[in-house]
Structure 1
Amino acid sequence: MTATFTLGRRINNIVSRLGRIPSRQWMLNDGSLQLQRAGKGKTIIILARSLCQFMCINLTKIPSSSRRGMMDLQVRKESPFERTGHVMVWQAQHTLVWSWDLQRVEDALRAADIDPHKVVCIPESLFYPADEQGLRLLACQEGFEGQFWSDSVLMHSRWWSNPPSPHEWALFQRDIGVTPLQTLSTATTMHLSDQTWAKVTINRDHLDSSMQIERMAYASALLVLAALTLDFTAAWLHAIHETNQQSRILNTLRRQISPLIEAREHALSDQDRIESLERLYPSTLPLELMAAVAQSMPVHRAYLQEWDMQGQKLRLTLAPMEGDLSATAILRSLNSTGLFSNIEGVSSPNEAILTLKLDVTPSHE
């Protein structure tokens, strides 16, 4: 029972993996597409060797950190195409580069209603089994490819539309420095492997111009937004700094003038109390008024018989000690003190007595 269950699970895993195998299509030199293997998921476009250029670059003298950038520059420099697609294989101290006319490949894909950005393009040479040492001639999907391997590294490759002649094969060997020259052998026919014989670095820079412009626009917008954000943040931080600084200055001034403010408040409070006390008393004290009246009376000839003061109204009666009182002289004297106004005489049955009504003049007038 357990063995049957395990076998069934393995079969399911195999089926699941088969279901994820990507489909593969040939792209030939004329741009036509041929199904090489059906599958699901991302489509792999196998570029015929006739569409590709090959070069092997020695990386011995290039620092590791700069190699990828140097390779991209070298590909653009050596490529005759306006737009170049390429893949790389890193082997020991060498980089193997296959490049192609990106515009031509994308046009062919779009003509077949295939989105170029949803497929991966890999040259057919990478699906043939690798070699270790020496020359070999491969029969490709279209034409023939001569290869020279050294220490399991593909050092040189050349493509011919027809089988190379002995002279062409000899020229290929002379160009790459092979000695002694080897005679031309029959081309080898190989089946494509399921996987490439080395890890392939896919170039993701082959976006079409519209997507590049869109990405550049997004990047520019992000840069502008970041700049505005930084500018706003700097201004906000500066404002906070200025506010804190002004607050510290204000607090210092408050501490410095606090005694003055406190003294002023005490002075205003005292002034309020004084004004309240002043309002409780008349503007001129009764004793001061009596003294003024006494100075206005004839010396040793009269006395104050009645004094009646109601607010600012005063009624007084003077009686003679001997002789008659001179009302005119007394009125003139009282008026000259400046303490009284509206002085009037009041008739009395006793003609010897002088009764007067007066208004007390406010002290501020």
Structure 2
Amino acid sequence: MRQLSVSTIPASWRISLQPSRRAVRASGVDPRARHDLWRALVLGEQFVLSRSLVHFERIARPRSASQATTFKAAALAARARSPFADPGWHLSWGPTHIGIWSWDKQRLEALGVPPGSWVLPESLLDAPPAEDGYRLLVRPEGYEGQIWTGGELAASRFWAARPDPQDIAVFRRSAAHSGEAAAPALPGSSLTRAGLAAHQAIASGRFRPVHLATALSALLLIPLAFTAGGYLRTAAELNAVRAAQSAFAEAGADQYQALELYRNRAQRLALYRRELDVPNPLAAAADIAEVAATLNAQISAFRIESERLTARLTGPATLEPAELASALEARETLQDVRLSRSGNTPGWDIEARVVPANAVRT
């Protein structure tokens, strides 16, 4: 009996178990290919976001014995750190840190992405580098700089045009990374090239009657496969919900004891806070001025009241919110930094909590 191997299977018979992927760029959503209809019905449809539409940050992985508690804490951190009013996010779990990719859900809906869709940033389609350090990737809408540490993505920055050495130096300073001033641009993931290669692989096989019979059989089985896939997805979601409920029930007693202990210690610490935890407004003002000078920006407004700092920075059009947020959060006197913009006015409004320079950051 002849053994059938992958090399003997016609290219038109080979089926990839990957979902249908559609690129989402600043101009809109790419149309779905005709041959991807069955893939979207059976395996789902995935919207791959351009790097220009997403924001990246990294946080330390919360320490908790409960997986459900860790996931809840990470989700709260993702919402708090996102610069968007109504963000969606994707969490990339690493051994010691969690990468937070967030985007503006309202903008995606305006571009044509249905609410509740399966969304993934295009940066997650690339394989990690063999060594830690800085690398520059070519994207369909620009360039992405990445810094890897310990096998994890530590920082990411997007430029519409190829960055010069000064832009790269500012990015590395904001990520506390040192290395060469420039690196060669590597080709990133390209849905256009991948789709063209798949189309050429299918078209290269010679058409035979048996292929037509196979295609008709697959077309007849699509409704059954779609129903079976929906059932399997529903069963998987039900099992996940049951597992989460069990985890919450097990962690309930520990969380209650921890809450009581926190309340008792918070009452005792409140007695010392007035004398020992008074922030110095001049230190915060100096930090804001240093960040503005580093990013070639100007301070147009500044105010500190009841340990809350509000300021407004105006700078060049290339000033990225991720770069500004990272530079501010690196300061010891500023915590809970949030950025916002009023309409189409230039500059960014900054809100932060002022803490003593020698306080322990949480």
Q: Shorter-chain TM-score category?
A: 0.3 to 0.5
Pair member with larger Rg? 1
Name the TM-score, length of structure 2 as normaliser: 0.46
Of the two structures, which has the highest relative contact order with CA contacts closer than 8 Å and spacing of 6 or more? 2
**Scaled by the length of structure 1, what TM-score is found?**
0.45
